[in-house]
């Protein structure tokens, strides 16, 4: 099987890269995480995004409904 990840061809990949470009500045300490990004997980109908600030350790979470 030749299933590859990271090609940007799935909706989740597009959503992940969307969040990679925005809001990487920590609201707690102001650190801008250029190296990091939002990590996405999905359970089928909801995507959970998580970002951990490497400077102060603050964790931010966002959820997004894929379908209603
Ligand atoms: Zn921070």
- For the record, the structure tokens of 44 come out as 């089928």
Q: Tell me, what's the pLDDT at 52?
A: 95
Centre of ligand 1 from the C-alpha of residue 13, in Å:
25
Domain boundaries, the chain: 11-65
In tens digits, the chain (68 residues) has pLDDT values of 555 555 556 766 766 665 555 688 999 999 999 888 889 999 999 999 999 999 999 999 999 898 86
Q: Compute, in angstroms, the gap from residue 39 CA to the centroid of ligand 1.
A: 16
How remote is the CA of residue 22 from the centroid of ligand 1, in Å?
Answer: 15
In the 8-state DSSP scheme, what is residue 40?
E
Per-residue pLDDT at 27: 92
Spell out the alpha helix ranges (H) of the chain.
Answer: 11-21
């Amino acid at each position: 099987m030749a299933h590859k990840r990271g090609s940007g061809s799935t909706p989740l990949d597009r959503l992940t890269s969307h969040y990679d470009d925005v809001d990487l500045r920590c609201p707690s300490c102001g650190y801008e995480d250029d190296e990091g990004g939002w990590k996405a997980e999905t359970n089928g109908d909801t995507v959970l995004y998580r970002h951990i600030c490497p400077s102060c350790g603050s964790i931010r979470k966002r959820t997004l409904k894929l379908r209603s």
